Amino acid sequence: METWDLYDDQRQLTGRLWNRDSTTPWPMEHFHLVAKIALFSGNGSLLIQQRTSTKSGWPNYWDLSAGGSVLAGETSWQGAERECYEELGLLLPQTPRQPQLTITSGQAYNDFYILQADFNQLSELTLQKTEVQQIRWATFEEVKQLVAVGCFIPYPAPLLSMLFEIGQNSNALWVFG
């Protein structure tokens, strides 16, 4: 069972915890952390993943490279590292990073980490079969098309545009591989 730290509207820890499977109503004045990772290739394509049909949220939809809720006691970066390793078998740099972008949505602080991957061979990755059914590189146009036909999680168009703009600017990215 996943347990999350709860934060207030100023992103300060409250000292309270939340169990993901709880039947108690969500405390509306609280938030939790979500880490999202957008991995770009040297040619500006985004690594996208297709969620499995058994996922409770957005089954069979395409999504960013990796991501998920940050567990209690983790920093946002530690959550990003864990999710990337769990879902893709990929180790991120050990040096803690700050997200390039944070968006509050619903009851979550969504931290976006945008990195340039120094690999192009998808065969180097190990997918978590319970969460990810396939991965591929996609251009901005391909992602927009997937959104248009209802196959990609419907992130706001300006957000996707910003992710690609940052992801295609190698001076703004952390490179790893």
pLDDT in tens, 56-101: 899 999 999 999 999 999 999 999 999 999 999 998 878 888 999 9
Domain CATH number, residue 127? 3.90.79.10
Task: Answer whether 107's CB lies under 8 Å from 31's CB.
Answer: yes
State which amino acid sits at residue 122.
L
For residue 86, what pLDDT is reported? Answer: 97
The tokens for 131 are 């969460």
Q: What is the pLDDT of residue 42?
A: 86
> Each residue of 133-174: pLDDT tens digit?
999 999 999 999 999 999 999 999 999 999 999 998 866 555
Is 148 within 8 Å of 142 (Cβ atoms)? no
Sign of the torsion formed by the C-alpha atoms of 11, 12, 14 and 20: positive
CA distances from 29 to 9, 14, 26, 43, 143 (A): 7, 11, 9, 42, 34
**pLDDT (tens digit, 9 = 90+) per residue, 106-139?**
999 999 999 988 776 788 899 999 999 999 999 9
Range of the domain at 23: 3-176
Give me the number of domains the chain comprises.
1
Report pTM. 0.93
CA–CA dist 97, 38 (Å, integer): 14
| DSSP character at residue 31 | B
* Residue type (1 letter), 115: L
